[in-house]
Structures are given as structure tokens and as C-alpha cells.
Amino acid sequence: MNRLEIINRVKQIFANSNHKFEIYKNAEGVEFRIDALVVGTEIYVITPEGELPAPDGEVVLEDGTKIMVKEGKVGELMLPEVSTEEMADAELADGTKITNKEDGDFAEGQMLYVIDAEGNEVMAPEGEHTTKSGIVIVVDAEGKITGVKYPDQSGEGSLEEQSKNKMAQATLIDGTVVETEGDLSVGADLYLVTEEGKQPANSGEYETEDGKIVVVEDGKIIDIKEKAQIDVQMMEMFTQALESLSNELNALRKENEELKNKFSKFAAEPAAEKIYDKRGEYIQSIKQLEFSKLEQLSQLRRALKK
């Protein structure tokens, strides 16, 4: 029994039919299960026989996202390119529509406008704005674009230096976001991203969602380890224990059902004659003998009176 078979068997035992996964399709309609579109995440092909690890190679999803599969995992992830039309008239992550009122890409020096509910174009507020397609746009107090960065490209203007000092982020299993300058690697400083801002990570081990154990000492990463694979033998023992428990529960249910049926039959039967034990029969015979003597005395008394 392999790891996937064990997991599927445990799901069957618990009848976990409501568990939901992210399902994606390629252009041919083949379905894939990917828990998250993140490098390192396992990817499975959904077949009539069940879920199988996706073979190595390129997978192109319906929306144009390209995934390079390596050893059953997302090795590389290439998001679909954003068209010029989208760049000139886009939508922010919160649903707000923006435009540069020009034909062409968003670029440094252009004015950025927000389209309100009535369709009016008003000057975009100062700050950093991110579109749904991942474009980051920085606007000054006059509504002018001072920096632009497209996904997987170097930044322009005020975002050029930020692009050079690219920050890598990862999410821990408890939902905490951590960040490093450059790639998540040994020697980099690790920061915890909180509502109050960034703060150096305390010494210790941190487990990421993609299965890495990051060891930190004095705020610096000193080691990165892949999380140990689950012991298949232990999982098999666990599965067998669950199956045994499931069988025992089924046996108890069957026994309980049989007892219910027997009780129902017993309750439906007519009342039978009372059965006494030997002591009861002896007591009953003594009482009958006493009654017989009294009856004989009574008859003798009546005869003497005549």
C-alpha cells in the first residue's frame, strides 16, 4: 500500500466526502488537483481509477497558466501574460477599476485614474496599488505614476531599486507570513510580517506550508531542511487500527440490531402461563390442602345442624 492509497483509504473510513480541493483543468479538459498554485506543491491527475501523481512535463491550464511538473510537484510556475488592453484599463485586487487614459502599458510619468461607480474618472489616490493581474503601481500625491512593476519583470521608477532587493515571502503552517531579502536561503535574515510591521524572527524552527523546516538563530537562517516524509509503515498500522475499529463498530451495530429484532418479537408474543419453581409449587399445594380441610370442617358443621 503506497502513500496515496493509504490517504485515500483513511478518507474512505471517515467518509470524508465533503473535503474540498482546488481542481484545475487544462485545455483538453483533463482535471488536476493542486492544493495551492505554489512551487513545491504536489499535483495530481484525476482519473477514473483515482488520483495519480502528474507525470513530469508541462501542463497548461485553461487560463493560460503554465506549470512545469517535476517529480509530481509544481517545479516552475508561469502566470499568463497580461495583454496591453488589460494593462491600460485594469482592475485592482479590491475590484476598483483604474485606467491611464492612454493606449499602451502603464508606465512611469503617466497619470493614473480611478473609475467610480458612476463611470467618472478621478485622480488615483497616493500610494501603492496592485492589480488583480499582479501589476504594482506607485502613485504620488498628484496622481502621477512614479513606479511600475509587472509580474516576473524588473521594476521601473521608484520600484526599480525595490525590484533589485526583491523580498521573498513564505507562509508558515499557522498562517504567519515570513519574509527574506532575496530567496529563502541559508544566511538570509528572516522576518515575521505582522500588523505592526516586520520584526526579526526569534531563534527556533519554522515550518512552511510547502514542507520546509527553516532553522533560525539570532534572526538569521542557518539551515533549511525538507520535512521528513511520513513513515508509510506507521500509516499502514494506523490505517489497520482504523479498519479494525470500523469492523468492531459494524459488529456492534449488527448485534444491536439483532437484539432489537428479538425484543420486538418477544413483545409481540401472547402472555404465557405462569411457571413456578419447585418451592412455589410446594407452597401452592400446602395452601390448597389447608383450604380443603377448612371446606371439609364447614361441610361437617352444616351436617350436624340438620
Instruction: Show the CA angle centred on residue 129, arms to residues 127 and 135, nearest 5°.
Output: 140
pLDDT, tens digit (0-9, with 9 covering 90-100), for 122-176: 999 998 888 887 788 899 999 999 988 887 666 777 776 554 555 678 888 888 8
What is the distance between the alpha carbons of residues 97 and 83, in angstroms, rounded to a whole number? 16
Strand partners, 123: 113
What is the distance between the alpha carbons of residues 55 and 43, in angstroms, rounded to a whole number? 9
Q: Which residue range forms the structural domain that includes residue 212? A: 165-226
Cell of 151: 509580474
Model pLDDT, residue 230: 47
Decide which of 36, 58, 78 is a domain's last residue: 78
Whether the predicted pLDDT of 86 surpasses 50: no
pLDDT, tens digit (0-9, with 9 covering 90-100), for 4-23: 455 555 555 554 444 445 78
Model pLDDT, residue 257: 77
Model pLDDT, residue 272: 47
What is the distance between the alpha carbons of residues 204 and 214, in angstroms, rounded to a whole number? 8
Integer angstrom CA distances of residue 170 from 113, 116, 173, 299 = 33, 35, 10, 111
Model pLDDT, residue 228: 56
Please tell me the total number of residues recorded for the chain in this structure.
306
Q: What is the mean pLDDT of residues 108-131?
A: 88
CB 193 within 8 A of CB 178: yes
Model pLDDT, residue 140: 92
Decide which of 184, 202, 226 is a domain's last residue: 226
Whether the predicted pLDDT of 81 surpasses 50: yes
Q: Is residue 22 part of a domain?
A: yes
Q: Name the residue type at position 3.
A: R
Model pLDDT, residue 287: 59
More confident residue, 216 or 167: 216
pLDDT, tens digit (0-9, with 9 covering 90-100), for 47-78: 888 889 999 999 988 878 889 999 999 888 88
Q: Where are the alpha helices (DSSP H) in the chain?
A: 3-13, 84-88, 159-164, 232-268, 278-305
Model pLDDT, residue 217: 92
Q: How many domains does the chain have?
A: 3
Cell of 208: 512552511
Q: Is residue 43 part of a domain?
A: yes
Mean pLDDT estimate for the chain: 76
- For residues 60 and 98, membership in a common domain is answered with no
CB 218 within 8 A of CB 203: yes
- For residues 171 and 145, membership in a common domain is answered with no
Q: Which helix (H) or strand (E) holds 122?
A: strand 121-123
Cell of 30: 483533463
pLDDT, tens digit (0-9, with 9 covering 90-100), for 235-266: 777 777 778 777 887 787 787 777 777 666 66
Model pLDDT, residue 233: 58
Tell me the CATH number at 13: 2.40.10
Model pLDDT, residue 21: 52
More confident residue, 234 or 98: 98
Decide which of 123, 146, 163 is a domain's last residue: 163
CB 181 within 8 A of CB 169: no
